[in-house]
Amino acid sequence: MNRQISLLTMLLAANLTANLPAGAANKAPQSIQEVPFTQVHLTDGFWAPRIEVNRTVSIPSAFRECEKNGRFDNFALAAKNNGCYQTDIKEHQGDFSFDDTDPYKVIEGASYALAAKYDAKLDHYLDSVINLIALAQEPDGYLTTCVTNKCYRLSGWWGRSKWEKINSHELYNSGHLIESAVAHYRATGKRSFLNVAIKNADLVCKTFGPGEGQIHRPGGHPIIEMALCKLYKVTGNKTYLEGAKYFVDETGRCTDGHAPSMYSQDHMPILTQDEIVGHAVRAGYLYSGVADVAALTGDRAYQQALERIWQNMSSKKLFVTGGIGSRAQGEGFGPNYELNSHTAYCETCAAIANVYWNYRMFLATGESKYIDVCERALYNNVLSGVSLSGDRFFYDNPLESDGEHERQRWFGCACCPGNVTRFVASVPGYMYARQGSDIYVNLYAQGKATIGKVELEQQTEYPWDGKVRIKVSKGGGKFAIKLRLPGWLKTSPVGNDLYTYADKAKPYSVSVNGQSFYPENRDYITLSRSWKKGDVIELDFPMEVRRIVANDNAEDLRGKVALERGPVVYCLEAADQPDRYVFNKYILNTVPVSARFESALLGGVMVLEGQAKQVEQSGEVSDVKFRAIPYCTWNNRGAQPMEVWIAATPLATRLAPLTTLASQAQTFANRGPIQNDAPETAPVDSWAGGTNDQWEPKRSSDTSKPYHYWWLKRGTQEAISYKWQEPQEVSNVQVYWLDFDHYDGDFRVPESWALYYQTDDDQWREVEDHEAYTVRKDCYNSVSFRTVKTKGLKIVAKLQQGQSGGVLEWKVNGKD
Ligand SMILES: [Zn+2]
């Protein structure tokens, strides 16, 4: 295994030199290389148990879900359609053209797990599924099962023939196939899966490119760029690097006449982009691929573009948990400073993509701010994506909840669970890096690492304690050890004014063999000397509770504070508060907050405690104790209210909601279309929510709290209803319409609407003697009508031509 990796490293180094301009080879500084996860063995109390749960629970459970949900059956059916497999399976299963990527991701995770700890049963299982995948591949190398299986039910994705639609995800499937196959090859040395990937990559590079007879189009959903770079590193075949570079260059050009798309960052060429927009996972994967191409070709222009885009992301669109993507609509970015806690999307995959991208930015520059973002995402948003038990997953990771969020075992669109399995297994690979014989220590965790001929041993309780002891346990020589000074010890977490610490960090100290050292470098503490076996570095990073405040432009975070200790962001969860509620509390800046390790809680966590003020329903303020837990461990004790950003003043608090007619109702919406001539018959058969939670909208574009919207519906009739167990006397409704701009379709107040009530014989009839159904923006539209006694109310709205719409809040009133 070690021999393989060093061969690969040499191969890569040879290729890098080959790509440098003539004469530059001697002058250019050596590139920074990753230290593979297989060289880093963690024995800490934080990551090691999580990696073990990933190996023993998450990976097997994800494979079971793949089996249960027909993911492997789809390969079997494709193999049958290729004429090389016998099976009774007749129907292609699943709802997405990218369902093939679920098994690919879990195989990747399983490969990493195998490399870290050999397991014969798992090795054989992988052999069997890889064999099936190989049989599903068409003779020319093509591999997307829904297309091979001619599943026209999914034609909306892929069309009627291969490579017909840019959003078909065929190249996304190829990308994950390659990533997975490279991991399997590196872990086992077997070429079985790698050969499948090579055959597919050859077809991709033949089909797409600038030449005549080739398709001129970018990847659609990126990852093919990163994947082809990885395949190039393993095989040394330059065609793959050229292919990756082609997909990067083609982005935003629209050569084949397809419409530009902000959604997939295909709105302008990469070199002219300076703001991060669109689908967050696509953005993270695309810019990771661009960084790979930049590194392998030495092209500075790409790197400069990436630095501009990164500046925008990190200073205006990064959540304090390291997450990205503020909106559910289009699963992506909103405007600058849209950092709403409750409706934050922060997809687990997007946080992983953010680590990929930032790690590559570090490799390109050696700057610690990129690792600051990695560390923030790792300890917070990424880990929130999986339960402590390892078998439940979050898709979106909001920073605030009314208790409506709960992890699930699997999803129809199952991108996140598979991604977690492959990512958590690879975490040790982000700890160290090397540049020539110099060593970067980027992340701190107890364990051993073999870096060239040197072995380093870390002893630490990180992330619960900032004392780190690093011993040179093998080897030695003249080189530098660069110790990252974490962002959480500075004046701002990622070196800009998006977030700043409201308090001052205490000074840290460093010593070598007991002698204190006062470093000048603010990002890395560089210890350059002749190292010998037994040398000991001691870092003492004071791990105090720190208060973070956000830039005033982030409206939702005004008057609030986030608590952090080391790299861990904290939250208040209802279960830990005396009144089982969180939003009615505020924490004064002057109040001390203490930390205490609770070994019996949530697998053993450091909790924060102190005195909060609580606003009672009467308006009086009382003193209460509060307890905060690490954000990454929320929702492991049932669904309940939670907040990361805590009020620092009474104005930013919110009282517990009252019992109202609306709050007692269950909310439903229509799933299917509504007949134009009979809107009262609109079926309301689908669960909905967000309109009766009593968060008061500030304006029609206020999407900071839950609301109901009709995504991708334009100009149609849409319905939403309240249903009660018992009949209620009602005579007035107040409706606050949604109205905001989105790159993927705007939301406007409706053209018109009407209100219906449910009759005793379960028919719907329009209310009588009603006032005008108004569609005013930025206020409630109040409509009184003749009192009815009913078990249901239903709004049917006709959306404006070409526009979508929604409801922020809907109140119901009885006779006063
Ligand atoms: Zn996902």
Q: What does the DSSP assignment read for 703-770? A: -SS--EE-TT--S-EEEEEEEEEEEEEEEEEEEEE--B--TT--B---SEEEEEEE-TTS-EEE-SS-
**Band of residue 20 on the pLDDT scale cut at 50, 70, 90:** very low
> CA 742 → CA 312, 332, 711, distances in Å?
19, 10, 11
Q: How far is the CA of 420 from the centre of ligand 1 (A)?
A: 9
pLDDT (mean) for 206-224: 96
Q: How far is the CA of 788 from the centre of ligand 1 (A)?
A: 45
Q: How far is the CA of 392 from the centre of ligand 1 (A)?
A: 13
pLDDT at 635 over 60: yes
Percent of the chain surpassing pLDDT 90: 90
Beta strands 447-451 and 708-709, pairing class? unpaired
Q: Is the peptide bond before 463 cis (omega within 30 degrees of 0)?
A: yes
- CA 67/CA 50 separation, integer angstroms: 24
Q: Which amino acid is at 273?
A: Q
**Band of residue 6 on the pLDDT scale cut at 50, 70, 90:** very low
Q: Which tokens hold the place of 584?
A: 């009615």
By the CB criterion, residues less than 5 angstroms from ion ligand 1 are 347, 349, 415-416
Torsion angle (degrees, nearest 10) of CA 606, 344, 357, 65: 80
Digit-coded pLDDT (tens) for 335-348: 999 999 999 999 99
Q: Which among 573, 620, 572, 616 is positioned nearest to 593, based on CA atoms?
A: 572
Q: How far is the CA of 352 from the centre of ligand 1 (A)?
A: 9
Q: How far is the CA of 283 from the centre of ligand 1 (A)?
A: 13
Digit-coded pLDDT (tens) for 181-196: 999 999 999 999 999 9
Q: How far is the CA of 347 from the centre of ligand 1 (A)?
A: 6
Digit-coded pLDDT (tens) for 354-406: 999 999 999 999 999 999 999 999 999 999 999 999 999 999 999 999 999 99
pLDDT at 499 over 80: yes
Digit-coded pLDDT (tens) for 235-250: 999 999 999 999 999 9
Q: How far is the CA of 281 from the centre of ligand 1 (A)?
A: 8
Q: How far is the CA of 333 from the centre of ligand 1 (A)?
A: 15
410-419, 476-485, 562-571: least confident range? 410-419
Digit-coded pLDDT (tens) for 69-103: 999 999 999 999 999 999 999 999 999 999 999 99
pLDDT (mean) for 682-689: 91
Q: Which among 48, 103, 119, 60 is positioned nearest to 425, based on CA atoms?
A: 48
Q: How far is the CA of 100 from the centre of ligand 1 (A)?
A: 14
- CA 3/CA 12 separation, integer angstroms: 14
Q: Which tokens hold the place of 589?
A: 């800046």
Neighbour tally for 245: CB within 10 Å: 23
Kindly report the pTM of this predicted structure. Answer: 0.93
Q: How far is the CA of 652 from the centre of ligand 1 (A)?
A: 32
Q: How far is the CA of 104 from the centre of ligand 1 (A)?
A: 14
CA angle (322, 324, 329) in 5-degree steps:
150
